[in-house]
């Protein structure tokens, strides 16, 4: 409990202002991950550049939200229209932190919830684009969930660890069984790792609710334009991410 008090004392000085201020900048970095990870491009040392003219972008071009508005959505060097993906990701990251704050999270828990939400946003977006859930994001998210429990909610650590193990084992069992019965893949290993990360954040008892929320939203998406094609592949990551986020806030 002393650790929790120290962490909250340090973070509560900034209240909810610091996480909200940082959110667009984290969203900007998330946009970089979304653009570069699926393509195998360098992240840490790759300079941002205009997709049309290739001109390297400077600090005035990279201020989240503000630069896009000041430049009216166009490159200052060639005048080409700037893609809006980064802008939407920045807005989404800000919305996630505001959502967590309005749900009553403060101090260290607001930071923890924001980190979870930002990570889920990045993973869900990447999976929606290319049906991949990179280990470089899912595995640190799993570890972060256990660390959050250890330092902020130690009584929940056993449930969190059990949830992570049960989620991965259960999803892999379903995937292997389906492959043997139907001869094709149903759930990818990335989905199992994401659900394991979710178990590390929400605990074992909320995993059924995560799956119900994910399955319900996935079905709504699949039937949005009538009867779906049985052979069509639907990325499950965005729906799992939504389920994990909702259970973290309200479960």
204 phi, psi to nearest 5 deg: -65, -35
Q: Which of 125, 173, 115, 117 is nearest to 147 (CA)?
A: 115
CB 93 within 8 A of CB 30: yes
* Strand-pair partners of 118: none
Environment class of 183 (CB within 10 Å of its CB; exposed 0-12, middle 13-18, buried 19+): exposed
| C-alpha to C-alpha distance for 24 and 43, rounded to whole angstroms | 18
Count of residues making up the chain: 251
Average pLDDT, the chain: 85
Tell me the per-residue pLDDT of 90-144, one tens digit each, with 9 for 90 and over: 999 999 999 999 988 888 899 999 999 999 999 999 999 999 999 999 999 999 9
Q: Which pLDDT belongs to residue 225? A: 63
Tell me the per-residue pLDDT of 114-127, one tens digit each, with 9 for 90 and over: 999 999 999 999 99
Band of pLDDT at residue 185, cut at 50, 70 and 90? low
pLDDT at 248 over 70: yes
CB 195 within 8 A of CB 225: no
């Amino acid at each position: 409990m002393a650790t929790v008090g120290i962490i909250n004392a340090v973070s509560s000085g900034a209240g909810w202002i610091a996480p909200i201020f940082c959110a667009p900048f984290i969203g900007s970095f998330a946009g970089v991950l979304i653009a570069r990870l699926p393509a195998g491009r360098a992240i840490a040392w790759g300079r941002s550049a205009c997709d049309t003219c290739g001109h390297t972008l400077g600090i005035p071009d990279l201020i989240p939200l503000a630069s896009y508005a000041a430049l009216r959505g166009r490159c200052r060097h060639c005048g080409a229209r700037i893609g809006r993906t980064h802008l939407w990701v920045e807005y989404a990251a800000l919305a996630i932190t505001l959502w967590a704050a309005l749900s009553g999270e403060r101090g260290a828990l607001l930071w923890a919830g924001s980190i979870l939400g930002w990570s889920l946003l990045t993973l869900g977006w990447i999976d929606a684009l290319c049906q991949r859930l990179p280990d470089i994001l899912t595995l640190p998210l799993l570890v972060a969930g256990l660390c959050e429990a250890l330092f902020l909610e130690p009584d929940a650590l056993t449930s969190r660890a059990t949830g992570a193990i049960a989620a991965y084992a259960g999803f892999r069992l379903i995937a292997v069984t389906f492959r043997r019965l139907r001869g094709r893949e149903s759930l990818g290993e990335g989905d199992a790792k994401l659900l394991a990360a979710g178990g590390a954040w929400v605990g074992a008892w909320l995993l059924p609710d995560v799956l119900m929320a994910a399955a319900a939203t996935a079905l709504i998406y699949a039937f949005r334009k009538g009867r779906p094609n049985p052979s069509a592949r639907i990325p499950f990551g965005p729906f799992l991410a939504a389920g994990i986020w909702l259970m973290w806030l309200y479960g």
